[in-house]
Structure 1
Amino acid sequence: MTREVEVVVPPEARGRRIDAWLAGELPEVSRSRIQQLLEAGEITLARPGRLKANYRLKGGEIIRVRLPEPTLLAARPEAIPLDILYEDEDIIVVNKPQGMVVHPAPGSEGGTLVNALLYHCGDLSGINGVLRPGIVHRLDKDTSGILVAAKNDAAHRGLAAQIKDHSMKRIYLALVHGEVAEPRGRVEAPIGRHPVDRQRMAVTLKNSRPAVTHYRVVEHFPGYTLLEARLETGRTHQIRVHMAFIGHPVVGDPKYGPRRCPFAVPGQLLHAGCLGFVHPVRGDYLEFTTPPPSIFLQVLEQLRRAKGEK
């Protein structure tokens, strides 16, 4: 069944791209999905004509969004083992391994978390379209840790609302280059697409969105620091970009840090170790924790041994 939403653009949104602004107003719908709806003519002003993704808001517009019934699922179920931390009829919480992509994309349609969830659950929320069913928030391919997926649209909307109002608890462990001096800190710097390399994000004022990361030093090592990072917002690559911005890129992250890593790791040492939220249907609070993967723990043990020998 097609759902219709009508939103009024406030004056303070003047000058922003319509796709970026709507992605913030409709957190249950991804920005790429919004761009698809714009292309299909499903998002219109209260006047004739189509809107493009790069339309600049003027303030005061009334925007109508039609969210059609999701088409047949493009992602296929695959019998991939899952580390399930919790499951009921509305949600499923999993511990995603490092190296697993969350959802299919052109060129990598299989082997993803979505493929595994479809096999295990049989059905997921259809809000995010044909390739991202049930996905409320994401983790990068080489970021390990806890992720919650929605089995129905009501659960999806409830979880997405918590992400939008910053009430979902998301805490990561990150091993970063350099010795962070302050015991705790806050990075507030807007994040948008890199102006030259479209595969990267960057701290920028152009076509960006506000981003806030809080961090706390857990342990110091010679040349490295283990941090606990808490997301206030949830932008693409946020912790990786913010840590690089303050001069402490995540270890094992060649996209934002040194190309050569001193440790034999398959990707960045960044782990989503704690996730807390209100159950979107029942209303009770749930919180889950999980330790980093073995390769992360091995590097920490190596650093502790080196520290003890000095």
Structure 2
Amino acid sequence: MNRKTTGSRTKPDRIRTFEVAEGSELLAFLLNKLSPEGRNSVKSMLARGQVSVEGRVEKAYNYPLRPGQQVSVSKEKIVDKPRFIGLSILYEDDDLVVIQKDAGLLSISAPHEPDAITAYRQLMEHVRQDNPTSRIFVVHRLDRDTSGVMMFAKSEKVQQALQNDWQEAVQERSYIALVEGTLRQAEGKIESWLKESKTLKMYSSQRPDDGQHAVTHYKTLQTGNGYSLLEVRLETGRKNQIRVHMQDIGHPIVGDKKYGSRSRAIGRLGLHANVLSFVHPTTGKTLRFESPIPKALLRPFQRD
């Protein structure tokens, strides 16, 4: 059977594709399908990256195959397609996975976009490569247009352990925000109670206990050309908390039309989750992850 494989840059007639009928390890499957080639020849194909499963190059002899998967063998090295869209894995173990999410990627699907590519969906597919019963669980979220570090759990037990002990487990959680204007105070604290309107927009109340208590600390890192770059640290993690609080003090986040911004200077939301440090729920060790400031957030300061 000849079929073009997604992600391959080799010609269709130089690819053989086979469908997996029953569970097997990759080498055993190939030896059965390519019996005239010989064992050493098949091993060499694997080592040279000429074999892909579902469009992704696989070299492990014992890679587990599932019924319905497509295995392709090329006469030349396959150029693998990107493993993820809009994210990269920073850390992974048996309990959790920490990622760098790009601006524009949904953390999880939205009701009005049930089929959208999301971080959750891609990571679910990732963990099921080795075990079809594996799952991931949402621990916290980043807004679609916010980039940076976030994590997912690999079991409901770990998810609950992190969420139930979030304030104690999270040692550091900071963001970089590009906002409009120059703040009168170089650093400060913003406190309010957040509520959600019928149109799903968050807003602040100054009446104690009138909504979810939210506390944000900020420090100015750089100013110029009508913009300020802030380091923002959260005491609480409420929906749209930073975006609402920046609007509250009259300095909305660049690109945040929903919360008062008029600037489109960088073509994206000027918010980036740059540091996440937490106590591992199983090992008890403190893990810290830092993502560099995107160049887009520095662009307004580089103008003449």
- Give your verdict on TM over 0.5: yes
- Rounded Cα–Cα distance in structure 2 between residues aligned with 1:142 and 1:124: 31
Provide the residue aligned with 2:84 in structure 1: 80
State the one-letter code of the partner of 1:221.
G
Quickly say closer, same or farther: Cα 1:173–1:125, change in 2 above 3 A. Answer: farther
Q: Is the 8 A contact 1:125 1:156 kept in 2?
A: no
**CA displacement at 1:106 relative to structure 2:** 2.2
**CA displacement at 1:262 relative to structure 2:** 4.1
The within-5 A match list for 1:92-131 is 92-109=97-114, 110-122=116-128
- Rounded Cα–Cα distance in structure 1 between residues aligned with 2:272 and 2:100: 10
Provide the residue aligned with 1:239 in structure 2: 242
Provide the residue aligned with 1:147 in structure 2: 150
Q: Is the 8 A contact 1:144 1:272 kept in 2?
A: yes
Q: Deviations over 1:220-266 (max 9, x none)?
A: 113211000001101100000001001110001000023x424141x
Provide the residue aligned with 1:277 in structure 2: 278
Q: Is the 8 A contact 1:241 1:256 kept in 2?
A: yes
- Rounded Cα–Cα distance in structure 1 between residues aligned with 2:95 and 2:180: 40
Provide the residue aligned with 1:303 in structure 2: 301
State the one-letter code of the partner of 2:88.
D
**CA displacement at 1:165 relative to structure 2:** 4.2
Which 5+ residue runs of structure 2 have no aligned equivalent? 1-82
Report the 3-state secondary structure (helix = DSSP H, G, I; strand = E; otherwise coil) of the residue aligned with 1:233. Answer: coil
State the one-letter code of the partner of 1:290.
S
**CA displacement at 1:108 relative to structure 2:** 1.3
- Rounded Cα–Cα distance in structure 2 between residues aligned with 1:213 and 1:264: 24
**CA displacement at 1:186 relative to structure 2:** 0.5
- Rounded Cα–Cα distance in structure 1 between residues aligned with 2:133 and 2:165: 19
- Rounded Cα–Cα distance in structure 2 between residues aligned with 1:211 and 1:119: 35
Provide the residue aligned with 1:225 in structure 2: 228
The within-5 A match list for 1:13-28 is none
Which 5+ residue runs of structure 1 have no aligned equivalent? 1-78, 127-132
Q: Is the 8 A contact 2:193 2:211 kept in 1?
A: yes
- Rounded Cα–Cα distance in structure 2 between residues aligned with 1:271 and 1:125: 30
Q: RMSD in angstroms over aligned alpha carbons?
A: 2.3
Quickly say closer, same or farther: Cα 1:286–1:262, change in 2 above 3 A. Answer: same
Max radius of gyration: which structure?
2
The within-5 A match list for 1:132-143 is 133-143=136-146
Q: Deviations over 1:132-159 (max 9, x none)?
A: x511110000000000100012221222
Identity of aligned residues (%): 40
- Rounded Cα–Cα distance in structure 2 between residues aligned with 1:207 and 1:115: 35
- Rounded Cα–Cα distance in structure 1 between residues aligned with 2:118 and 2:264: 29
**CA displacement at 1:305 relative to structure 2:** 3.4
- Rounded Cα–Cα distance in structure 2 between residues aligned with 1:104 and 1:141: 10
Quickly say closer, same or farther: Cα 1:291–1:149, change in 2 above 3 A. Answer: same
2:215 to 212, 225, 228: 212
- Rounded Cα–Cα distance in structure 1 between residues aligned with 2:263 and 2:271: 14
User: Which one is further off, 269-278 or 180-189?
Assistant: 180-189
Aligned residues: 216
- Rounded Cα–Cα distance in structure 1 between residues aligned with 2:113 and 2:168: 32
Report the 3-state secondary structure (helix = DSSP H, G, I; strand = E; otherwise coil) of the residue aligned with 1:228. Answer: strand
Quickly say closer, same or farther: Cα 1:247–1:229, change in 2 above 3 A. Answer: same
Report the 3-state secondary structure (helix = DSSP H, G, I; strand = E; otherwise coil) of the residue aligned with 1:141. Answer: coil
**CA displacement at 1:273 relative to structure 2:** 0.3
Quickly say closer, same or farther: Cα 1:156–1:125, change in 2 above 3 A. Answer: farther
Provide the residue aligned with 1:187 in structure 2: 190
The within-5 A match list for 1:10-49 is none
Provide the residue aligned with 1:248 in structure 2: 251
Report the 3-state secondary structure (helix = DSSP H, G, I; strand = E; otherwise coil) of the residue aligned with 1:154. Answer: helix
**CA displacement at 1:125 relative to structure 2:** 8.7
State the one-letter code of the partner of 2:302.
R
**CA displacement at 1:281 relative to structure 2:** 0.6
**CA displacement at 1:105 relative to structure 2:** 2.6
- Rounded Cα–Cα distance in structure 1 between residues aligned with 2:176 and 2:203: 21
Q: Is the 8 A contact 1:86 1:92 kept in 2?
A: yes
State the one-letter code of the partner of 1:198.
T
Structure with bigger strand share is 2
Quickly say closer, same or farther: Cα 1:108–1:147, change in 2 above 3 A. Answer: same
1:160 to 159, 163, 177: 163
State the one-letter code of the partner of 2:303.
R
Provide the residue aligned with 1:169 in structure 2: 172
- Rounded Cα–Cα distance in structure 2 between residues aligned with 1:214 and 1:281: 30
Provide the residue aligned with 1:24 in structure 2: none
